């Protein structure tokens, strides 16, 4: 799984670099008997690269997820033959807390992305997969002493 996440982090970085030429991203699932229903529901949906949808649903969206995102030029999006309709996550995206494990609720909760793909119908990322691969982790600095926070920020700035 770590290898898949690393691969997708590199893919996302390349797609972000070419977003001027290929500003639309299409969600692609493998679409076979092992594909999870909620991953299949996202198959073929197109969002702009900067749509908040991809802050939560850039693959992998769960353990052993085989989905990917393919970049597309503007000429492939919109109405007409050979074009893909554009989706918009505005007012349909949220973050919720779910149990990390249904079998062991004492393990606590995790934040996941939630997308309303149809009126009243929702999809969620799996716990631990609610951010794009490669997104930099940072600690909650409110929990630490001011001197330690300054030192940490200085170290980050000098990397």
| Mean per-residue pLDDT over the chain, rounded | 86
Tell me how far apart the alpha carbons of residues 7 and 5 are, in angstroms, rounded to a whole number: 5
Q: What is the pLDDT of residues 43-83, one digit of tens each?
A: 999 999 999 998 888 888 888 889 899 999 999 999 889 89
- Can you give the pTM of this predicted structure? 0.74
- Give the pLDDT score at 158: 66
- Give the pLDDT score at 126: 85
Tell me how far apart the alpha carbons of residues 53 and 153 are, in angstroms, rounded to a whole number: 29
* Cβ–Cβ under 8 Å, residues 131 and 55: yes
Q: What residue spans of 1-159 are helical by DSSP H? A: 2-17, 37-42, 54-57, 146-157
Q: What is the pLDDT of residues 77-111, one digit of tens each?
A: 998 898 999 999 999 999 999 988 888 888 888 88
Tell me how far apart the alpha carbons of residues 51 and 77 are, in angstroms, rounded to a whole number: 15
């Amino acid at each position: 799984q770590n290898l898949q996440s690393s691969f997708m982090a590199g893919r996302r970085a390349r797609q972000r670099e070419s977003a001027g030429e290929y500003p639309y991203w299409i969600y692609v699932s493998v679409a076979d008997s092992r594909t999870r229903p909620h991953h299949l529901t996202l198959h073929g949906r197109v969002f702009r690269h900067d749509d908040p949808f991809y802050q939560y649903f850039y693959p992998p969206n769960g353990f052993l997820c085989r989905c990917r995102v393919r970049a597309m030029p503007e000429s492939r999006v919109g109405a007409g033959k050979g074009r893909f309709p554009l989706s918009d996550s505005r007012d349909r995206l949220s973050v919720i807390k779910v149990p990390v494990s249904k079998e062991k609720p004492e393990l606590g909760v995790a934040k996941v992305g939630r997308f309303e793909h149809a009126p009243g119908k929702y999809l969620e990322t799996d716990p631990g997969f609610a951010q794009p691969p490669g997104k930099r982790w940072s600690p909650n600095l409110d929990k630490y002493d001011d001197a330690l926070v300054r030192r940490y920020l200085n170290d980050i700035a000098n990397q």
